[in-house]
Structure 1
Amino acid sequence: MQRGRGGRRASGRPRIRRLALAGALTSAMLLAGCSAPATGTSGFGAAGVAPGGPWTIDSGAGAPQPGARQEIVTIGDSIMSGNGLDAEQAWPDVLARANSWQVTNLAEDGAGFVQPGDDGHTFAEQVTQAIADAPDDPDAPALIVVSASSNDLGRDPGKVEHAATKAFTALHRAFPGTALVGLGAIWGDQEPPPELAEINDAVHSAAEAEGASWVDVGEPLAGRFDLMQFDDTHPTAAGQRVLATAVDERLRALLGSAGSADSAG
């Protein structure tokens, strides 16, 4: 997929350059005889290995064929697309590699359910693309993750909920055997604006109305400016691995099948 070049929109979030602060912190630690902060946390390291080993998605449609690679599709914004990084460093790609899955990451920079992205598309176009790209198989993909987005900040939450409901409805109808999961919007290292909770609530309500599951990983990057790029909006590669770990833990608890480590291969 073509990725846009822009970042988060309408967030009202200040863009703070932290080079001086980071340099001061590093110098202070060196003087104290300490090392600088680690660029990741426990979980997915640079090798992208999942704690607990690979697992199998239980979508309710039965176990995958032996040796088959389960497929996931992700719909979202620039946090999901890995803005500023190579495509394979985005958290959906990290998550898929660690669990021996295939991934189709349709996320577009700047996009939301209502807010058009850098390529002029909302999440509706990503949903249409997911349906058009899928094989004629009601059990594939095994999992679709649809993320709420801070790009919809400033938009009417009622319109966001309406658009999200249409998205979940279309996906459920096209993929009745697929695990469909809504994901809370992911912020950065600073405190998110209160309005973001309204966006999450709107998408959560839409997901529940269509029988989709809901996952909110909280704020895995809170207080970790060392995991943010210099635009102070998008995670570094290490930050993306932290996000992959957080999403993996929640999805594993929600959808992991018994004996998944043995069956994932």
Structure 2
Amino acid sequence: MPALAAAALVTSACTPSNADAGPQAPAFAVASPTPNPTSKWANRLRIVTVGDSLMSGYGLDLGQAWPTLLADKTHVTLTNLACGGMGFVVSGDCGTPYSGLVPALAALQPDIVIVQSSSNDFGEDPDDVRAGTLTTVQEMRNAVPHAVIVGLSTIWNDDADVPDEVESTSEDLQSAISDVDGTFIDVGQPLQGHPAWMQEDDVHPTPRGQQAIEETVHAKLSDAHILH
């Protein structure tokens, strides 16, 4: 789809909605308004992202999270449902694991859903993580039967010593995405070897780290012919 010149319309998680138009998501999410046929938004791809604090841009200014950078670059309509502390099993700042965001997906009916496995699930029972991932992704498919569902592998920090759970949680998501005929993308570790790209907590990326994630995700989505 040819890119449009105007900036992307971006909404974020855990923010009450004041929109009048279109179906409303639950209170923790802001729904993108339904465009009129003559609207400049009418021909844009509608993307929803689901993830944790790496995706929400913890500690940064609004607009510095990688999904927003991606939306700005590719001129799509974005609703970012990412929330700190959450995963497929663990409830985060929004009080729910990813499964609690499924009603928002059903209301929004995006063209593309991007969901990422999370290090927040590290330390949980592996069987629970696997089952929670499979169930949640299937619920997503049921909620948005016509959307492209994209799964992204777990991202760790700048440390070269990557925990085994990075691979296991990523594999759980890969299996779940395969079951719903989605596309799984291994984004590798774009922060690895770059301590300057991490905030002082060594968990959350700086604006430069977010840019590195966006560049990697964008390249992978382009290679998969999902987003250009």
Deviations 1:183-205, CA, capped at 9 Å, x for gaps: 10111101221122111111211
SS for the counterpart of 2:114 is strand
Which of 201, 205, 217 matches 2:171? 201
In structure 1, how many angstroms separate the alpha carbons of the residues matched to 2:61 and 2:212?
Answer: 16
Stretch moving more, 168-177 or 206-215: 168-177
- Counterpart for residue 14 of structure 2: 2
Q: Which amino acid aligns with 2:155?
A: I
In structure 2, how many angstroms separate the alpha carbons of the residues matched to 1:212 and 1:242?
Answer: 24
Which of 190, 200, 210 matches 1:220? 190
In structure 2, how many angstroms separate the alpha carbons of the residues matched to 1:91 and 1:66?
Answer: 21
The structure with more radius of gyration:
1
Which of 106, 114, 132 matches 2:81? 106
Deviations 1:73-93, CA, capped at 9 Å, x for gaps: 000100000000123110001
Displacement of 1:256 after TM fit?
4.0
Change beyond 3 A, Cα 1:178–1:157? same
Indicate yes or no: 2:221 matched with 1:251: yes
Gaps of 5+ in 1: 4-64, 135-139, 261-265
Which of 130, 141, 144 matches 2:110? 141
Which of 126, 147, 154 matches 1:157? 126
Whether the 8 Å CA contact 1:168–1:212 is kept in 2: the answer is: no
In structure 2, how many angstroms separate the alpha carbons of the residues matched to 1:108 and 1:214?
Answer: 21
Which of 233, 252, 264 matches 2:203? 233
Which of 121, 130, 143 matches 1:174? 143
- C-alpha root-mean-square deviation of aligned residues, in Å? 1.9
Specify which structure has the bigger relative contact order, considering alpha-carbon pairs within 8 angstroms and separated by 6 or more residues.
Answer: 1
- Counterpart for residue 183 of structure 1: 152
Indicate yes or no: 2:50 matched with 1:75: yes
Runs of 4+ in structure 1 deviating by more than 3 angstroms, as ranges, are none
Whether the 8 Å CA contact 2:155–2:188 is kept in 1: the answer is: yes
Whether the 8 Å CA contact 2:103–2:143 is kept in 1: the answer is: no
SS for the counterpart of 1:73 is strand
In structure 2, how many angstroms separate the alpha carbons of the residues matched to 1:69 and 1:246?
Answer: 22
Whether the 8 Å CA contact 1:148–1:185 is kept in 2: the answer is: yes
Q: Which amino acid aligns with 2:149?
A: L
Q: Percent identity?
A: 37
In structure 1, how many angstroms separate the alpha carbons of the residues matched to 2:224 and 2:67?
Answer: 17
Whether the 8 Å CA contact 1:157–1:202 is kept in 2: the answer is: no
Change beyond 3 A, Cα 1:200–1:256? closer
Displacement of 1:174 after TM fit?
2.3
Whether the 8 Å CA contact 2:69–2:214 is kept in 1: the answer is: yes
> TM-score when scaled to structure 2?
0.78
Q: Which amino acid aligns with 1:246?
A: T
Whether the 8 Å CA contact 1:72–1:102 is kept in 2: the answer is: yes
Q: Which amino acid aligns with 1:101?
A: V
SS for the counterpart of 1:89 is coil
